[in-house]
Structure 1
Amino acid sequence: MAKKKLKEHLINRDWCKGCGICVALCPKQVLELDREEKVIAARPEDCICCQLCEIRCPDLAIEIILDEGEKDNE
């Protein structure tokens, strides 16, 4: 199985309510809440593409975009 490679964290700040679930679940501490209590990818280079943030976001505000050629379910 090929290792997933991150292209970007697509974060819908209008949908994010700043609950912090994604921040708490991220195993690499990639995500943080900013001054407006909205999630940001503070350290995207550390992301391992586990997609826990995307899966557990109650507001569907986060999408992990993988580099071309990669699929979600590999």
Structure 2
Amino acid sequence: MPRVIIDTERCKGCGLCITVCPKEILKYSGKFNKSGYNFVECIDESKCICCKSCALICPDVCFTLIKEEKVKG
């Protein structure tokens, strides 16, 4: 399962990532970080396809995406 890690303290809530996510799994959290910004959260990591659109458009470099490889066995 992919992991979407968002540094919520760096996020300024610009929403660019929300607009580019093809799976529409990024939303405003309704919570605020220490700087007073309504940060973004991933609502369903299982739907993430690790396209990295969010990470590429984010001006504050808030995203870390981890794509776990399936173990052959």
Q: Which has the larger radius of gyration?
A: 2
TM-score normalised by L of structure 1: 0.78
1:68 Cα shift? Answer: 5.0
Correspondence for 2:60: 59
Matched, 1:24 2:34: no
Matched, 1:44 2:48: no
Supply the distance in 1 between the matched residues of 2:4 and 2:28 (Cα, whole angstroms).
14
Supply the distance in 2 between the matched residues of 1:40 and 1:23 (Cα, whole angstroms).
9
Gapped regions of structure 2 (runs ≥ 5):
32-37
Gapped regions of structure 1 (runs ≥ 5):
70-74
More strand by share: 2
Supply the distance in 1 between the matched residues of 2:18 and 2:12 (Cα, whole angstroms).
13
Q: CA RMSD in A?
A: 1.5
Give 4+ residue runs of structure 1 displaced > 4 Å after superposition: none
Q: Deviations over 1:4-43 (max 9, x none)?
A: x61x111101100000000010000011111132110101
